[in-house]
Amino acid sequence: MNTKIWLFPGLNMKVETFGQLQRFLEQQGYATACVAIFPPLGQEQMDYEAEAAEDEEWICIGHGAGCLEAIRMALQYKSRVKGLVTISPNLQPYSLIQMSMLKILARKDMKINGGLSPFERSSKEELTPYFDTFAVQPSKMLELEAFRKTLKNQIQEVSQPWLVLHGDKELPAIMKSLQYVKRQVPHVLSYQMPHCGHYLPLEDPKGLDKQIRAFLNQIVVTA
């Protein structure tokens, strides 16, 4: 059985942000593909099976809003997707995430590993265009929120092994999503990574590699 791992970055993460994890997985012998599915902030339809081999199985890994596509794949391709990893999954309305970001930017006392959290490293000037994109594209915002709501209502149907990773300094809105997932999907595994916020692939890439490798070993996926 051939195994392919799909990586889905979040709305404000570049594909390159998963570079370390992608290189690690390929060193372990896995085929990978990293796909940004919301350009520009709208869902991109993909035919994932177009070039898939008959004996190919998939693992889906997403961060933030990218978790939505990973979950959708697990629901749509039940026989092909063998495992699911969501990193800081966001199932809350995006306005709540925006508010969390701005509150963190307003604080200068929150420190992670002696430094500033990822959102604090960004200035308000850097984040403003990101917020404004939603303001000038309301149809895209509505499309994303409808997609999020649909998946939230179907999440209890996920039957595959599922690992949820998050930092101990996570955004409050993300923590609400984590609690919801645990209530709806009793078999889900979760792990809190110390000294991390919302951007695990940047804040602790080696720790992320370790947790994902352990999960893949548990579900007996061989490259």
| Burial of 217: CB neighbours in 10 Å, binned 0-12, 13-18, 19+ | exposed
Contact 71, 158 (CB under 8 A): yes
What's the confidence (pLDDT) of residue 11?
75
What's the confidence (pLDDT) of residue 109?
44
pTM comes to 0.81
Distance CA 94, CA 52 (A): 33
Given pLDDT bands bounded at 50, 70 and 90, which one contains residue 99? low
Given pLDDT bands bounded at 50, 70 and 90, which one contains residue 71? very high
**How does pLDDT run across 178-199, given as a tens digit for each residue?**
999 999 999 999 999 998 888 8
Distance CA 44, CA 164 (A): 24
C-alpha dihedral sign at 198, 203, 206, 207: negative
The beta-strand segments (E) located in the chain are 2-8, 31-34, 56-63, 81-87, 111-112, 115-116, 162-167, 189-193
**How does pLDDT run across 103-144, given as a tens digit for each residue?**
555 554 444 444 444 444 445 554 454 455 455 455 666 777
Pairing of strands 81-87, 111-112: unpaired
Return the residue matching tokens 């002696």: 114
What's the confidence (pLDDT) of residue 187?
94
Q: Which region among 12-26, 80-94, 199-213 has the lowest average model confidence (pLDDT)?
A: 12-26
